[in-house]
Amino acid sequence: MSTPLYDALTQFAAQNPLRMAMPGHKGKPIPGLPAEYARLDFTELPPTGNLYGEDMDCIAQAEQAWAETWGADSCLFLTGGSTQGVHTMLMLSGSDTILTDRVSHRSIHTGLALLDKKPIWLTRPWLSHVGTAGPVEPEAVEAELNAHPECRAVCVTSPTYYGVLSDIPALAEVCHRHGAKLLVDGAHGAHLFLLGENPYRGADLVTVSAHKTLPAPGQSALLFGNGITLDQLRQASLIFATSSPSYPMMAALDALRPWLLAEGKQRYQETAQMVAQLRKKYPALTETDTQLDPTRFTLCTENGDQVEKFLQAHHIWPEMADSEHIVFILTCADGVEEVERLEQALDAFGLHGKIRPHSTVSAPPLPQSVCTPREALFAPKETVDLAQAAGRIAAEQIAPYPPGVPIAAPGERIDEKILAYLEQLGYNKMKTTVLW
């Protein structure tokens, strides 16, 4: 199977070129890193292609191969993570008003501010028994688009940090009927196309973080477009991107694709089977609650912080923990040995066969919006104790991280309900920035 970018880099490196250009290591070993990394680390030269060029070079060929694999019209390699992809999607939204999923990463909020987009917040149903938000409902999107005909773009997150999936094809049908684009932050869903039919079909723009759930380098991500050309993706992304993208990162994306379509698909199916067994053995979020990422294991417990500390003492580091959940990301790199090690620790804590507790966490309150995200970004500010911030206007995102979902976003009023909710979550940040 063709890997045009990886092949071009290795062939050029084999010529032992005299490198009188960036990067500074000149292809020689970087202290502490494998020699292969530096050998494939080039800058924009005729043999290596240009990520933001217009020619059908080796990078464009590699991107097109990913687009065909995904079933999209176009694909852009991202070296700035899904944050770069989110900002590019908002740039290409074609709408000054965005119907925005409230369960969204901080990158969406910063993108709204940078591009001066007005958000209309889309709330999700609350799964009270498990203490998390459910999927975006097509009926809710329909109602909001009817109420706001000026809105020509909808931005949703699927899956969420806890693994909750929304019905993207159904949402796309609603959006397109109203003449609106559907933008999907699929940062945690790069692997899902390996587990059956691609769940993102119908979306106009989708960004996924390869590094989150695929065996790929940190910050590597992909942006897919339908009805949008590669040139449009490149031009829109350029203002958010570094002018010195990582060639090893892009080469890894190129080399990864054939492996995923061969061995990788089976490996992820095996991972999904192991997660299914974990969900049966331990108190967890399951597909009887809502549609889920088959590889995401979200443990439900009344003492999440204690469980997390116990696991860390056993050298097991979950992705995140809050008062009632612990999120484990399992990928093709996790086999029987890793899962058994996790099970031994969970058993030692006494979680095997334990009845799942009913959540006591309520849905987060929706703050009052006082000014736009952009106005809040550039307004005079001061730093105050969080406990003294009641009644003030947030100048920064108040967002437990992970998952990085703001409880209060810039331009929203911090009231007593917000402070009480943060206390319930165990949010321990002592200060915050507010407007004068």
Last residue of a domain, one of 199, 226, 259: 259
Distances (CA, A) of 50 to 12, 19, 257, 310, 323: 15, 17, 20, 48, 46
Write the single-letter amino acid at 402: P
Among 260, 222, 252, which Cα is nearest to 40's? Answer: 252
pLDDT, tens digit (0-9, with 9 covering 90-100), for 82-113: 999 999 999 999 999 999 998 999 899 899 99
pLDDT at residue 33, as a whole number: 65
Domain count, the chain: 2
Residue numbers of the chain with a pLDDT score lower than 50: none
pLDDT at residue 21, as a whole number: 63
Q: What is the pTM of this model?
A: 0.92
Q: Is residue 402 domain-shared with residue 255, that is, in the same domain? A: no
pLDDT at residue 422, as a whole number: 87
pLDDT, tens digit (0-9, with 9 covering 90-100), for 355-385: 999 998 888 888 999 999 999 989 999 999 9
Residue 321 and residue 72: Cα distance in Å, rounded? 35
pLDDT, tens digit (0-9, with 9 covering 90-100), for 31-89: 776 778 888 888 898 889 999 887 669 999 999 999 999 999 999 999 999 999 999 99
Q: Is residue 58 domain-shared with residue 206, that is, in the same domain? A: yes
What DSSP designation does 263 have?
Answer: I
**Angle, nearest 10°, between helix axes 138-147 and 168-177?**
20
Q: For the domain that residue 383 is a member of, what is the CATH number? A: 3.90.100.10
Q: At 280, is the secondary structure helix, strand, or coil?
A: helix
Which residue carries 């191969």 as its tokens?
A: 65
pLDDT at residue 250, as a whole number: 92
Q: Is residue 38 domain-shared with residue 181, that is, in the same domain? A: yes
| Chain-centre distance for alpha carbon 58 | 27
Last residue of a domain, one of 259, 284, 308: 259
Q: For the domain that residue 56 is a member of, what is the CATH number? A: 3.40.640.10
pLDDT at residue 60, as a whole number: 94
- What is the DSSP track for 158-208? SS-TT-B---HHHHHHHHHHTT-EEEEE-TT-TTGGGGSS-TTTT-SEEEE
Give the number of residues written for the chain.
436
pLDDT at residue 25, as a whole number: 72
Is residue 184 situated within a structural domain? Answer: yes
Range of the domain at 87: 4-259
Residue 35 and residue 248: Cα distance in Å, rounded? 12
Q: Is residue 396 domain-shared with residue 254, that is, in the same domain? A: no
Among 299, 308, 314, which Cα is nearest to 352's? Answer: 299
Last residue of a domain, one of 259, 284, 301: 259
Is residue 199 situated within a structural domain? Answer: yes
Taken in order 37, 39, 40, 44, the sign of the CA dihedral is: positive
On the question of a cis peptide bond just before residue 402, with omega within 30 degrees of 0, the verdict is yes
- Cα angle 418, 89, 111 (rounded to 5 degrees) comes to 40
Q: What are phi and psi of 76, to 5 degrees?
A: -120, 130
